[in-house]
Structure 1
Amino acid sequence: MTDEEILHEFRASEALLEGHFKLSSGRHSGHYLQCARVLMNAERAGRLAFALAQKLPRDLRAQIDTVVSPAMGGLIIGHEMGRALGKDALFLERPEGTFELRRGFRLEPGAKVLMVEDVVTTGLSSREAIAAVGREGGEVIAECSLVDRSNGAADLGVPFYPLIEINFPSYAEDEVPPELAAIPVTKPGSRKS
């Protein structure tokens, strides 16, 4: 898929929102990508996952034992990546604020894991999820996401393969421009704080 075809999928599903949003990273933005909307159609989700799987180097795909994604945002694309790669797909939850495997999920010791996210902005959630996989006995060998909105700045500590890079500006709490601050803030992400 080309970048324009990918953006068409977001626009067609009304997943590209404008307003004033507090992102899961804590940063503020005038744009939000509601990946749940772009993934609500199973056919579209499958197409995007297949395109994302094709971005991964062949030798990397051969090493993957399991796909893991953080709930909530990464859940659907993680499941679809598992399907595209022919691997089991597990998800991490944070019932008490720290990611962990639940629901009987477990990793074999030393399992090679592909971490799958919907959107990466600062990489904080990804780094927390990668650390959780390590605590669970696995090794994250790479991460992929539908969208990288970090402007290439997210350091995840592993190779990173986004389907598309979208660089809408985002701002720290004390850097929000007055025109954005004048719009009531919405917090659509899954992080509590």
Structure 2
Amino acid sequence: MKEEDVKQLFLDTGAILEGHFLLTSGLHSPQYVEKFQVLQYPEHTAKLCKTLAARFVHDKVELVIGPVTGGILLAHEVGKHLGTRAIFTERENGKMTLRRGFVIQPGERVLIVEDIITTGGSVQEVLDVVREHGGIPVGVGILVDRSGGKVDFGVPHQALLHLDVKTYQSEDCPLCSQNIPMTKRGSRKL
């Protein structure tokens, strides 16, 4: 899939929303990407993940990992296309961790996958978990990069769709100053 095909898929499924949103990062934005509008369709998820997997097929990936929630679906589907195991991290007492008996073997080559990044905070937390367990991060695969190219993970990363969306700190948000009602989306409670 080409980037314009990915964008059209997100538009066709109603995944790109306009308004005033509180993001998981705590930033405010006039645009939100509701990835589950796309991921609810297994055929779309498979197509996106096959495209993402193809970008890392030569990196000798041995394990695919993603953060809860969207990262579970992506890790599973990308792992299927790469012929690897697929696991996920989740928060325990506010800290990203491995649970459920998941193990990263020392020296294991790991691909991190994530649905959407703005600040890259969750991906960085997963990278920290991988390194803490002795894994070797070989790359980061992302469905949508909203960072405007500002995020650097220190490993190669690939995104299927790049959106340059403005974000604001709450005290500098023009949407707040215009009294535009805010919608909180996402899975992490702030």
TM-score bracket, shorter-length normalisation = over 0.9
Contact 2:38/2:45 (CA < 8 Å) preserved in 1? Answer: yes
Structure 2 partner of 1:16: 16
The structure-2 alpha-carbon separation of the partners of 1:140 and 1:91, relative to structure 1 and needing over 3 Å to count, comes to same
Please give the alpha-carbon distance, in whole angstroms, between the structure 1 residues aligned to 2:93 and 2:37. 27
SS state at 2:21 partner: strand
Structure 2 partner of 1:143: 140
Q: How far does the alpha carbon of each residue in 1:130-151 deviate from its partner, in whole angstroms, 9 at most, with x for none?
A: 1011222312121010011111
Structure 2 partner of 1:45: 45
SS state at 2:104 partner: coil
Contact 1:147/1:164 (CA < 8 Å) preserved in 2? Answer: yes
Taking the TM superposition and a 5 Å limit, the aligned residue runs for 1:1-193 are 1-56=1-56, 58-60=57-59, 63-178=60-175, 182-193=179-190
Instruction: State the AA in 2 paired with 1:172.
Output: Q
TM score, norm. by length of structure 1: 0.92
The unaligned stretches of length 5 or more in structure 2 are none
The count of residues paired between Structure 1 and Structure 2 equals: 190
Measure how far apart 1:179 and its partner are.
6.5
Q: Which runs of 4+ in 1 moved over 6 A?
A: none
Contact 2:65/2:88 (CA < 8 Å) preserved in 1? Answer: yes
Please give the alpha-carbon distance, in whole angstroms, between the structure 2 residues aligned to 1:178 and 1:148. 22
Contact 2:20/2:175 (CA < 8 Å) preserved in 1? Answer: no
Instruction: State the AA in 2 paired with 1:59.
Output: H
Instruction: State the AA in 1 paired with 2:10.
Output: F
Please give the alpha-carbon distance, in whole angstroms, between the structure 1 residues aligned to 2:133 and 2:177. 41
Instruction: State the AA in 2 paired with 1:104.
Output: G
The unaligned stretches of length 5 or more in structure 1 are none
